[in-house]
Amino acid sequence: MLRRQRVLWLVIMCITIVSCSAEGESIPGDKNEPTAEAFELSVPQGDVVLEVGGAIGRFNVANRALFDLDMLRSLPTVSVETHTSVTDGVKRFEGFLLRDFLNGLGAKGDKVVASALNDYEMEIPMEDLRKFDVIVAYNMDGELLSPSNKGPLWIVYPRDDYPELQDIRYDYRWVWQLHSLKVE
Task: Map out the domains of the chain as residue ranges.
Answer: 1-30, 40-183
pLDDT at 88: 93
pLDDT of amino acid 14: 36
Does 40-183 carry CATH code 3.40.30.10?
Answer: no
Average pLDDT over residues 136-148: 97
Cα–Cα distance, 182 to 64 (Å, whole number)? 10
Mean pLDDT, all residues of the chain: 84
pLDDT at 38 (0 to 100): 62
| pLDDT tens digits, 70-98 | 999 999 999 999 999 999 999 999 999 99
pLDDT bracket for residue 146 (50, 70, 90) = very high
- pLDDT tens-place string over residues 156-165: 999 999 999 9
Task: Indicate the helix (H) or strand (E) that contains 81.
Answer: strand 78-82
E runs forming strands in 106-177:
111-116, 121-125, 135-140, 143-144, 154-156
pLDDT tens digits, one per residue of 17-73: 333 433 444 433 333 443 445 667 899 999 999 999 999 999 999 999 999 999 999
Q: How confident is the model at residue 145 (pLDDT cuts 50, 70, 90)?
A: very high
In one letter, which amino acid is 124? I
Position 11 pLDDT exceeds 90: no
With a cut of 80, say whether residue 120 has pLDDT above it.
Answer: yes
Helix residue spans in the chain (DSSP H):
2-22, 69-73, 98-104, 126-131, 168-171
φ/ψ (deg, to 5) at 87? -130, 165
